Structure 1
Amino acid sequence: MGRPEHWLNRQRLIAYSRIVLALILLAIVVLCFRAKGLVDPNGKPLGYDFITFWAASRMALDGDPQHAYNVARLFQAEQAAVPGIRAMYAWFYPPSFYLLILPLALLPYLVAYFAFLLTTLAAYVAVFRRIAQSREALWCLAGFCGAWVNILHGQNAFLTSALAAAALLCLERRPVLSGIFIGLLAIKPHLALLFPVALLATGAWTTFLVAGAVALLLTAAGTAVLGAATLSAFLGSLPVAQAALEAGALPWIKMPTVFAMLRLWHVPVSAAWVAQAVAASAAAIAVWIVWRRTRVLALRASVLMTATFLVSPYAYDYDLAGLAFPIAWIVADGIRRGWLRGEREVLLAAWFLPLLMAPLAATASIQAGPIVLVGMLCLVLRRATLLRKTTVGAEAVCTSGKPAPALPSR
């Protein structure tokens, strides 16, 4: 008798994606209907975080880029973009990213928002389609909560995750281009912390050196264009960002990190930092193990992009738009090699995570981000371990004549 079909089948995948997509679009319509003058009832601008990009650009074009790191001065520029806002947003980005958003204020706020989002979304979708091109995959991406959280915030996760995924796709055959993509992540360097671990694990020295050179050149270019005072102001803003993170001024409910999870439970700051360091070390070890154990791109890429969110204490729900790529890689590997028990349920939890994480943390003080991300890492580690055993078994066929073992489907 054949094994029964798994409950998470093709029909349900498409149905769930369409339902979530419809609900999100309905929520956006309601939000826009309730907004007045691009400001929602809570005093936040439509596009949320994007207003800092536009305001910093405005200040730089006016000749005061270093003052964007002053919250009061930045708020004045934000009010010029969207009069009537009451919420204040800070700017903690390095000159490398500042250089990227420099032209935005040449356009009106709303036009700049759509230009930025659509451009980066195009890159995001293009890279995703290199991994998965099926109809089901595209429906899953259309309904993926992480993508819509990034859109509503007007954030840069489409760009940063597309750069990381593109670097991984190019690594084997185009190491120089891969290094360029990694180096460009200097716009948000804490999302590139694990690339050196992976590159050192495999001896990818060309990519490693190119990435370092591009990162240094991009930082130098940003400093040259915006001035040394801007670099100094950025470095001076880092202790402010740390203090805000420790105190909860940066909302823990929206941060899928071990530090935020423990602070939400009122764990002392020092203990939360120790736990974050342990989690970061474990994530780096997981990347090293998988990259040393297997050459399968799907597993290597998935462990790196997932572990990234466990390394840095500073990450947000919109950054989880990048989970679309490890989910797609794992699904592709599951279809190719077979599924293990519980894997599809973990992937479904990761797919819903960006939408449900903040409400769950707000109502029950449970930060599910690290829990789901650790589940993803365990999934990849298990597949890599079993694949290694399968490979050893396949080599034994040469002498024993017995069929090579396969991953045990569930």
Structure 2
Amino acid sequence: MSIKHHWLDRERFTNYPRILLGMFILAAICWIVMSKDMVDMKGKPLGYDFITFWAASHLALAGHAADAYQIPLLFAAEKIGVPASQSVFVWYYPPTFYLLVLPLALLPYIVAYWAFILPTLCLYLLALRRVVWNTHAKWCIAAFPGLWMNIFHGQNAFLTATLAAAAVLCLKRRPVLAGVFIGLLAIKPHLALLFPVALLAIGAWRAIIAAATTAVISLALGSLTLGTSTLTACLGSLRYARVFLEGGFLPWPKMPTAFALMRLLGAPVGSAYLVHAIGAGCAVLAVWFVWRRSQDWGLRGAALMTATFLVSPYVFDYDLAWLAFPIAWLALIGLRDGWLRGEREVLVAAWLLPVVMSPLASALHLQVAPFVLACLLGMNVRRVALVAKRSQDRSCSGHDLRGSTI
């Protein structure tokens, strides 16, 4: 009798990431070589979104922090950092993150970019080391498209992913420290929406108090340092973010959300929000179920960090750097407990998602990311339900045996 082997064998698991890593490195070299005056062929600065971090810092150091929320004034500051830039990037961040990037404009643009990306990348890799670290995992992490998307965009996903994962990793033994990490995640509040659900599900009151306290203190510190007008300007700018999101001024193909899916299909704004709300509600219930019914911290963390992308309508491909943690946790569980049908295929799809999502959406006018993310979240729910069913079956069998007469 022959044993049927899975297509994702050790050789492919080792070689495919190496091939993709080489492609990313080649793409980065071409991108830099073909650029001129720190601007690529599309008129965008190298590091894309990082230009907003540098420009906001420049305005704040000049004593005009609130001006960063005014698009013409921000664009003028961006031109100081990269004079040849032709693209406009906007700034919606709260004073908590603003305070973090405040010193960046003390350095030239490219130097500041590396001064931000390299330390946050190191934190990200250190957090991943706590989850999984071996020869094969290193290749998968090095070639992970989410990592490269964040590097190309000069974004903060390394930092936000580290804070979220560190909170999960610390929650069991150091709940107050976990709460501090969650509170610091308020630098991007829409990515912290599910933590209250998870913490309430397990009654982690010390973490909840620590998170709320940290968030309030960090917001107050940022507002006092940069001026209270900065907080007012931030809140006022959110209406522009909503208009840009709904009108397509933000690229829907790069947004892995149900809202983007519906808008790409031509649905009106109200219908897109409705579908997204239904998906978000299901994601909330899934996180509650997993955290309430399972004691496995890998499943808990994977469910939380995956479901985050099904809750907020405002996330991008670079934010999918978060997925390295759910993929790692679920892969370890599969290796430990055995694979269920389709799980490895879902993990491969999730691993590739950050790089294939946008091209597929642009070509097909179909955003596949919500389906992949829903399958990834479904892996968690299925695992928990399966364990619960087995436990119930054992309980029933034990009850029947005890109640029988021999």
**Do they superpose with TM above 0.5?**
yes
SS at match of 1:102: helix
| Residues 389-408 of structure 1: pairs in structure 2 closer than 5 A | 389-393=389-393
Task: Give TM-score, length-normalised by structure 2.
Answer: 0.97
Matches within 5 A, 1:189-268: 189-268=189-268
Is 1:91 aligned to residue 115 of structure 2?
no
**Is 1:184 matched up with 2:184?**
yes
1:191-239 CA-partner distances (Å, limit 9, x unpaired): 0000000000110100011101101111111111111110110000000
**Residues 85-164 of structure 1: pairs in structure 2 closer than 5 A:** 85-164=85-164
AA in 2 matched with 1:45: P
| Cα distance in 2 between the residues matched to 1:292 and 1:174 | 19
Once the two structures are TM-superposed, the CA of residue 399 in structure 1 deviates from its matched residue by 7.3
Alignment partners' CA distance in 1, 2:40 and 2:233: 31
> CA shift at 1:7, angstroms?
1.2
Shift of 1:366: 1.2
Alignment length (residue pairs) = 401
Q: Which residue of 2 aligns with 1:22?
A: 22
Distance 2:331 2:91 in 1: 37
**Unaligned 5+ runs, structure 2:** 402-406
Could you tell me how far apart the structure 1 residues matched to 2:13 and 2:228 are?
A: 51
Q: TM-score, normalised by structure 1?
A: 0.96
Residue 369 of structure 2 is aligned to residue 360 of structure 1: no
> What is the root-mean-square deviation in Å for CA atoms of aligned residues?
1.3
In the alignment, the residues of structure 2 paired with residue 394 and residue 213 of structure 1 have an alpha-carbon distance, to the nearest angstrom, of 44
Q: Where does residue 300 of structure 1 map in the other structure?
A: 300
Distance 1:229 1:164 in 2: 29
- 2:246 is paired with a residue whose SS is helix
Q: Which residue of 2 aligns with 1:39?
A: 39
**Structure 1 residue 184, shift from structure 2 partner:** 0.4
| Correspondence for 1:10 | 10
Q: How does 1:62-81 map to 2 (within 5 A)?
A: 62-81=62-81
Q: Distance in 2 between matches of 1:124 and 1:397?
A: 46
* TM superposition shift of 1:390: 2.8
Distance in 1 of aligned mates of 2:352 and 2:73 = 37
Distance 1:331 1:219 in 2: 37
Give secondary structure in 2 for the equivalent of 1:42: coil
Task: Name the amino acid aligned to 1:210.
Answer: A
> Is the deviation greater in 384-393 or in 27-36?
384-393
Deviations 1:366-396 (A, max 9, x none): 1011010011011111111112223345567
What is the SS of the residue equivalent to 2:15? helix
| Cα deviation code 1:19-67 (max 9, x no counterpart) | 1000111111111111001100111000000000000001000000000
Q: Distance in 2 between matches of 1:362 and 1:118?
A: 31
Deviations 1:228-254 (A, max 9, x none): 110110000000100000000011010
Q: What SS class does the counterpart of residue 367 from structure 2 fall into? A: coil
For 1:74 and 1:377, locate their aligned partners in 2 and report how far apart those are by CA, in whole Å.
38
Matches for 1:259-298 after TM superposition, within 5 Å: 259-298=259-298
Q: Which amino acid aligns with 2:187?
A: I
Which amino acid in structure 1 is aligned with residue 186 of structure 2? A
Q: Which residue matches 1:407? A: none
Q: Extract unaligned runs of 5+ from structure 1.
A: 402-410
Distance 1:112 1:58 in 2: 12
Name the SS of the counterpart of 1:59 in structure 2.
helix
Distance in 1 (CA, whole Å) between partners of 2:302 and 2:3 is 28
Q: Counterpart of 1:406?
A: none
Change (3 A) 1:66 1:175: same
Q: Equivalent residue of 2:36, what SS? A: coil
2:341 aligned counterpart, secondary structure: coil
* 1:255 Cα deviation from its structure 2 partner: 0.2
> Structure 1 residue runs of 4+, over 3 Å off?
391-401
The whole-number CA distance in structure 2 between the counterparts of 1:77 and 1:128 is: 36
Shift of 1:83: 1.0
Counterpart of 1:330 in structure 2 is: 330
The alpha carbon displacement at 1:179 in A equals 0.4
The more displaced of 146-155 and 291-300 is 291-300
